[in-house]
Amino acid sequence: MSDIAAHIGQATAVSSMILGVPFYAQSRNQITLPVDLMTSSGLSQESLLRLFQGHIKDSAEENQIKEALKNVVYETAITANDHMLTAKSKLEMARQEIKKIVQEQPQDQLLNKFSKKWRKGIPDSLYVPTMAGIPTSLF
């Protein structure tokens, strides 16, 4: 169970990191995106700071930075999504194991009563809208 919670927490942290980019760039001069992904997309921390602080006047340069930023955000969001998929998969395995244990112990009323809570999954509504909205919500 702690592994499932860890994956959900990691997905939340990555999503928060993405959504916090404008705040940290404007108020603290920090970029919270993976540098290796930024480098592979030809994006520098300086260019993102200039974008979010409004120092870019050339619209062609601005569009180029925004396009590279979309790619970096998308690749980063994939990591969050992978953690959620892993959590869902592990939760499904745990539910199957709980079901097996409950079936082996039909006389245990307490076990039967509380095992019903584990038959639910992670609702898609928790993370799908966030994942779909991330690339356009940064600028």
Q: What residue spans define the domains of the chain?
A: 2-89+125-137
The residues near 88 (Cβ < 8 Å, ≥ 6 apart) are 121, 122
Round to whole Å and give the CA distance between 31 and 24. Answer: 6
pLDDT tens series, the chain, 139 aa: 788 889 989 998 998 999 999 999 999 999 999 999 999 999 999 999 999 999 999 999 999 999 999 999 999 999 998 998 898 899 888 888 878 887 888 787 777 776 666 556 555 545 555 555 554 445 4
Round to whole Å and give the CA distance between 23 and 65. Answer: 18
